[in-house]
Amino acid sequence: MIKNKYSNPANYQSLPDPQGETSSAGYIFTSVANEKLDYDTKGVLRYPGNISALLQSPLDQFERHILGIIGTYSYITTGMISDCLNLMGIPSDEDSVIKAAEHMRKTGLIHSFRFKDADTGETSTYMVHILTKAAGENALHSLCVPMEPLDNFNVVADPAIVKRNLAVNHIIIEYLKNMPIADMDKSKRFSVIDKSTREGVSARPSLTITFADGSRIFYEVVRKLDFWKTDLENKIIRYKRIQDNCDADNECPPIIFCCENAENAWEVYEMVSRIGLQAMFTHDQLLCGISFKSHIFNFNKNGSVNYYRMILD
């Protein structure tokens, strides 16, 4: 299989001093009740007009890189795309990314949308981009960029699920910007054998970060979907069984719950402490700029917070 250069950390250059930093408000992916995806459909060309437009104005190399990044990361914001390009040594800014994305949106290769509050009509300040099922997916295959196949429901996804995906990508890009990593995986399962029942127990974290020395960190991204507490509790119980049955040959990596905000982190902490899982916490606002180096924290019993400083050298 052809290796995807857009998911290979070796192709990114970590930046010791984060550049092009956006206000943390632009990276808050908190779920909102009655929210919907508000797609930009202005000027989209229909078949065969979109094909004629692409033949007259084919994608340039810059746009091909953007298409590869969108296909690799699934839901991704304009600012995240710009960060990825700069980390790959391809100079860019958000205006140039917006212009390129408009070309691909109007010719049917990608969809672009904002989050819209159905009650107030307010929309998010940032735009999100995804591949289209037919044209975009085929275009990416023609560029020999491996990707997971899309389903037919990506345009009607639950906004909270979309924001969970964005939060995962936010973590990845902040690691790429701040410190070297060896691998990033959104689908890796971790399994052990329960010594008391001889049953296999496994969990798939939202994200596994692997460092050059082989050590790993699990991130479990929490968003307030329907029945989120029940689903999360079941997963915490599995994590607890995994921790209880790990040994020196199969050590459980640290588990970090990335929550929507500080209040949500306390809610998750109460569940984690009741079940007895050893875990740490963070939230979206801490995963931006200079706060990244101390974004991981834990709670004391009185509710105060201890922050852990990451070594970025």
Q: What percent of the chain stands above pLDDT 70?
A: 95
The one-letter amino acid at 176: L
The pLDDT of residue 209: 97
Domains annotated for the chain, with CATH where assigned, are: 5-162 (1.10.10), 180-308 (3.40.1350)
pLDDT digits (tens, 9 = 90+) for 106-132: 999 999 999 999 999 999 999 999 999
The pLDDT of residue 249: 81
CA 175 to chain centre: 11
pLDDT digits (tens, 9 = 90+) for 30-73: 999 999 999 999 999 998 899 999 999 999 999 999 999 999 99
pLDDT digits (tens, 9 = 90+) for 246-280: 987 889 999 999 999 999 999 999 999 999 999 99
99 pLDDT tier (thresholds 50, 70, 90): very high
- In three-state secondary structure terms, 119 is coil
Average pLDDT over the chain, rounded to an integer: 91
152 pLDDT tier (thresholds 50, 70, 90): confident
The string of DSSP codes covering 242-301 is: HHHT-BTTBPPPPEEEEESSHHHHHHHHHHHHHHT---EEEEGGGSSGGGGGG-EEEE-T
The one-letter amino acid at 114: R
290 pLDDT tier (thresholds 50, 70, 90): confident
Q: What is the pTM of this model?
A: 0.93
Work out the number of other CB atoms within 10 angstroms of the CB of residue 15.
16
Determine which of 186-190, 205-209, 287-291 has the lowest per-residue pLDDT on average: 287-291
Q: What is the mean pLDDT of the segment spanning 194-215?
A: 94
pLDDT above 70 for 76: yes
The pLDDT of residue 23: 47
pLDDT above 50 for 20: no
